[in-house]
Copies of this chain bind each other. A is one copy, B any other.
Amino acid sequence: MTDKNNEKIDKNKEEPGGLRVKPINNGTVIDHIAGGQALNVLKILGISGTTGATVSVVMNVESKKLGKKDIVKVEDRELREEELNRIALIAPAASINIIRNCRVIEKRPVDLPDEIVGVVRCQNPNCISNTHEPIKSRMLVKVKNPVLLRCLYCEQPLANGIAEYLI
């Protein structure tokens, strides 16, 4: 979905009292993250700070839609769809804005894929994915909202507290 609106206008509407973080010229904006989940979003995206990317984060700002929300802006990097969709694990209402030359060139919700590989650890300590075998965790997405995962190997379900099981 393409949205021709300028990002700045869009955001000021959402955040009364003005923007906390200025619009970026190029990169990816992840908006409408559930309040308090921004650090988990960074974890899912593999951004630890030491990656060198210029990243801005605001946590727990007012949102009409969510009450409190977080926003993450990653400059000069257009994150891939498969990376971004994993965010739906912990922030199902998140929306993605790809920015080029100060304009929003793509705007879309996150959409959980059918399978999540190497992102969430199985909660069964005896599962083969939790041993020292060279095996990546593989979780099937059985229900998207509220999220219900099932381990491909041992069939253990995972629904609550997914953030605690992020690898």
Which residues of A pack against B, CB within 8 Å? 18-22, 35-40, 42, 48-61, 68, 70
Q: Are B60 and A49 in contact (CB under 8 A)?
A: yes
Q: How many copies does the complex hold?
A: 2
Q: Are B50 and A36 in contact (CB under 8 A)?
A: yes
Expressed in whole angstroms, the minimum distance between the Cβ of A160 and any Cβ of chain B is: 15
Are A58 and B60 also in contact (CB < 8 A) when A39-B39, A39-B42, A42-B39 are?
no
Smallest Cβ-Cβ distance to A61: which chain B residue: B54
Expressed in whole angstroms, the minimum distance between the Cβ of A148 and any Cβ of chain B is: 22
Contacts of A52 in B (CB 8 A): 35-36, 60, 68
Q: Are B54 and A56 in contact (CB under 8 A)?
A: no
Contacts of A18 in B (CB 8 A): 22
Contacts of A20 in B (CB 8 A): 21-22, 56
Contacts of A54 in B (CB 8 A): 58-61
